[in-house]
């Protein structure tokens, strides 16, 4: 393994990195404040929100002395604004406190990556998962009767990995995946190793560190910590700056541009502009340096037959709960037994994990060739540096870059749809839900969720006929490169249906889709069927059912 991985350099220069994050965060914050500059509102809002979070939504992973720290900050603020300070003295004290809070956030975020720990984790992750997988078969199964499963056999990778590895030598790679389950971070981290790419810095929800085993592995695979409970301006500014500084320093980075797991089960159709904008900002900053490193974006679509958290996620969506409230619910990933049962079913029942890596693009959405050059729609080489110019020099124009970020988001959403590999489970769930929806066309979505099993039952012949129609349409779409089809689509409709029924919602206690005693296709769980159906929303396939 190489010793010059950028992520290693980040670890070696941790204090310098944190110092740069603090400095640039403060600059960003100052540029957003009205003149005369005062940090009063920002500081008071941050302290108020943090003290509320500690009382209302504590996690095991939180520091024990957090309440005391934020109470001390509150006392300092009170002293600032009751003392007889000049405006300059007050501003100096406000900036000092802002720096201290930002520095604390940056230290909380940064991981402890090192080469030896990474090598151990890469060996241990598959061993750990394989041990879980094979241990569930029973202590008394040996020899001929015992089948050994391997994690590597369950991960299927699609993409131009030789191109990706060549880009590793030419610039900085930013990997932008879709996000469906808390397993994503660990599995993508391991898959990155399988592709031959160096380790990536990536954000993982702080809630995952409540589970010490899961937290250990994702930390050693290159994670930095994100706390989505924190919505205050200082934290959000620090998070954006952390990402931008890491990318500017040449650290290959992975983040989920959707911001969180898909609550609906659909591919991302809205991306977080703030985090995505850091990639553009980093590219602009790179062009201001002597060493003008180019940034390459690789979109990634992750496909599962079923998702552990699906019932909870779709329930949150249907209830339309506020974002703050979503994180008050107990994570279904919290227990070791829950995780191990899920992994066994996931990996032992033919439910492969499919990762579809897309064609690399630059920060403006142009395709990248094997020389690292940007290519426009006409096949011409594009100098993207010119997009940052104003009056003959590179400039920082927030309004202009906000528009560029929207363009990049639209391009990524388009690529996700094209790179999406349709699995048999996606197809059977979509078909069943659409048949039921058209049968109950006078019902709204919420009333649909309450219908009985006689209303949801679908004759096998009708179901097969509609599946065949959809397969025909999707094969045309595949040829037109509007989506991709899994290998199972080479086989008959009956075989596709069998695989889909065997895999969709395999883990869930209520059956998502099955053949009932009369041979009909039926469901015991309309909510979760809706979640899996949504994976194929946005393709206008409804008209073919």
Model confidence pLDDT, tens digit, residues 183-197:
787 788 888 888 989
Q: What is the pLDDT of residues 91-107, one digit of tens each?
A: 999 999 999 999 999 99
* Position 403 pLDDT exceeds 80: yes
> Are residues 230 and 120 located together in one domain of the fold?
yes
What would the mean pLDDT of 507-515 be, rounded to a whole number?
89
Would you place residue 257 in the very low, low, confident or very high pLDDT band (cuts 50, 70, 90)? very high
**Residue 332, pLDDT score:** 45
**Residue 536, pLDDT score:** 98
By percentage, how much of the chain surpasses pLDDT 90?
A: 63
Contacts of 175 (CB under 8 A, 6+ apart): 188, 192, 200, 202, 252, 253, 254, 298, 300
Q: Give dist(CA 209, CA 220) in Å, integer.
A: 12
> Are residues 454 and 377 located together in one domain of the fold?
no
> Strands 294-303 and 223-226: what pairing?
unpaired
> Are residues 293 and 379 located together in one domain of the fold?
yes
* Position 51 pLDDT exceeds 60: yes
**End position of a domain, from candidates 419, 452, 473:** 419
* Position 338 pLDDT exceeds 90: no
Would you place residue 506 in the very low, low, confident or very high pLDDT band (cuts 50, 70, 90)? confident
> Strands 393-394 and 421-422: what pairing?
unpaired
The residue with tokens 């946005």 is 538
Q: Which of 10-19, 66-75, 328-337 has the lowest mean pLDDT?
A: 328-337
Beta bridge partners of 285: none
Write the DSSP assignment of 409-426 as a string of letters.
HHHHHHHHHHH-EE-HHH
* Position 159 pLDDT exceeds 70: yes
Q: What is the pLDDT of residues 339-368, one digit of tens each?
A: 555 555 555 555 678 999 999 999 999 999
Contacts of 17 (CB under 8 A, 6+ apart): 10, 110, 245, 246, 249
Distance of CA 174 to the CA centre of its chain: 13
- Count Cα neighbours of 157 within 13 Å in the Cβ-side half-sphere: 18
Please measure the distance between the N-terminal and C-terminal CA atoms of the chain and give it in whole angstroms.
Answer: 51
| Residue 107 near residue 225 (C-beta atoms within 8 A) | no
3-state secondary structure 4-70: CCHHHHHHHCHHHHHHHHHHHHHHHHHHHCCCCCCCHHHHHHHHHHHHHHHHHCCCCCCCCCHHHHH
| Predicted model pTM | 0.87
The CA distances from residue 309 to 202, 315, 499, in Å, are: 21, 10, 21
> Are residues 329 and 428 located together in one domain of the fold?
no
**End position of a domain, from candidates 386, 419, 452:** 419
**Residue 303, pLDDT score:** 94
Q: Which residue has the higher pLDDT, 210 or 281?
A: 281
The residue with tokens 């020389």 is 371
**Residue 215, pLDDT score:** 77
The answer to whether position 361 is within a domain reads yes
**Residue 12, pLDDT score:** 84
Q: Which domain holds residue 530?
A: 421-544
Q: What is the pLDDT of residues 131-151, one digit of tens each?
A: 544 444 444 334 433 444 566
> Are residues 353 and 463 located together in one domain of the fold?
no
Instruction: Look at the chain and report how many structural domains it folds into.
Output: 2
The residue with tokens 């965060």 is 25
**End position of a domain, from candidates 391, 419, 447:** 419
> Are residues 204 and 314 located together in one domain of the fold?
yes
Q: Can you list the positions of beta strands (E) in 276-330? A: 294-303
* Position 443 pLDDT exceeds 70: yes
> Are residues 391 and 462 located together in one domain of the fold?
no
Would you place residue 224 in the very low, low, confident or very high pLDDT band (cuts 50, 70, 90)? confident
> Are residues 302 and 338 located together in one domain of the fold?
yes
Tokens of 444: 């709204």
The answer to whether position 206 is within a domain reads yes
The answer to whether position 473 is within a domain reads yes
> Are residues 495 and 411 located together in one domain of the fold?
no
Write the DSSP assignment of 79-119 as a string of letters.
HHTTS---HHHHHHHHHHHHHHHHHHHHHHH-----HHHHH
The answer to whether position 433 is within a domain reads yes
Closest CA to 531 of 464, 449, 470: 449
What would the mean pLDDT of 521-540 be, rounded to a whole number?
96
């Amino acid at each position: 393994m190489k010793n010059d991985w950028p992520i290693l350099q980040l670890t070696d220069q941790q204090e310098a990195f944190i110092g740069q994050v603090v400095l640039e965060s403060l600059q960003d914050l100052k540029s957003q404040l009205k003149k005369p500059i005062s940090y009063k509102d920002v500081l008071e809002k941050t302290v108020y929100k943090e003290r509320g979070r500690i009382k209302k939504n504590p996690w095991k992973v939180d520091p024990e002395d957090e309440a005391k720290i934020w109470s001390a900050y509150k006392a300092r603020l009170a002293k600032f604004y009751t003392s007889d300070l000049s405006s300059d003295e007050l501003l100096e004290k406000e900036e000092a406190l802002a720096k201290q809070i930002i520095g604390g956030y940056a230290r909380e975020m940064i991981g402890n990556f090192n080469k030896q720990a990474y090598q151990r984790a890469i060996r241990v992750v598959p061993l750990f998962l394989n041990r879980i997988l094979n241990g569930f078969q029973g202590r008394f199964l040996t020899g001929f009767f015992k089948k050994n499963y391997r994690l590597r056999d369950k991960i299927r990778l699609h993409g131009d990995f030789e191109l990706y590895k060549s880009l590793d030598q030419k610039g900085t790679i930013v990997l932008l995946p879709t996000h469906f389950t808390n397993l994503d971070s660990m599995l993508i981290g391991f898959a990155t190793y399988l592709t031959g790419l160096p380790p990536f810095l990536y954000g993982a929800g702080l809630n995952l560190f409540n589970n010490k085993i899961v937290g250990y592995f994702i930390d050693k695979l290159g994670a930095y910590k994100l706390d989505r409970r924190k919505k205050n301006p200082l934290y959000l500014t620090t998070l954006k700056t952390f990402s931008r500084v890491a990318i500017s320093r040449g650290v290959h980075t992975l983040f989920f541009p959707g911001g969180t797991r898909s609550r609906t089960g659909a591919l991302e159709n809205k991306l977080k502009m703030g985090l995505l904008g850091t990639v553009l900002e980093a590219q602009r900053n790179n062009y201001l340096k002597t060493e003008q490193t180019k940034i390459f974006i690789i979109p990634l679509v992750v496909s599962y037959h079923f998702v552990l958290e699906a019932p909870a996620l779709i329930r949150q969506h249907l209830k339309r709960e506020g974002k703050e409230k979503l994180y008050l619910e107990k994570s279904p990933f919290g227990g070791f037994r829950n995780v191990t049962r899920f992994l066994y079913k996931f990996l032992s029942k033919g439910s492969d994990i499919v990762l579809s890596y897309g064609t690399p693009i630059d920060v403006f959405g142009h395709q990248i060739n094997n020389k690292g050059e940007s290519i426009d729609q006409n096949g011409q080489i594009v100098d993207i540096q010119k997009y940052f110019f104003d009056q003959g020099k590179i400039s920082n124009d927030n309004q202009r870059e906000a528009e560029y970020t929207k363009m990049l988001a639209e391009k990524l959403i388009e690529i996700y749809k094209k790179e999406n590999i349709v699995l048999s489970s996606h197809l059977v769930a979509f078909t069943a839900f659409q048949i039921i929806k058209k049968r109950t066309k006078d019902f709204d979505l919420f009333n649909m969720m309450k219908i009985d099993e006689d209303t949801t039952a679908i004759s096998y012949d009708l179901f097969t006929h509609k599946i065949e129609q959809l397969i025909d349409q999707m094969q045309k779409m595949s040829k037109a490169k509007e989506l991709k089809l899994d290998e199972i689509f080479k086989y008959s409709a009956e075989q596709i249906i069998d695989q889909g029924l065997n895999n969709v919602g395999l883990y869930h206690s209520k059956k998502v889709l099955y053949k009932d005693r009369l041979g009909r296709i039926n469901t015991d769980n309309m909510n979760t069927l809706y979640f899996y159906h949504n994976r194929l929303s946005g393709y206008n396939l409804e008209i073919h059912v």
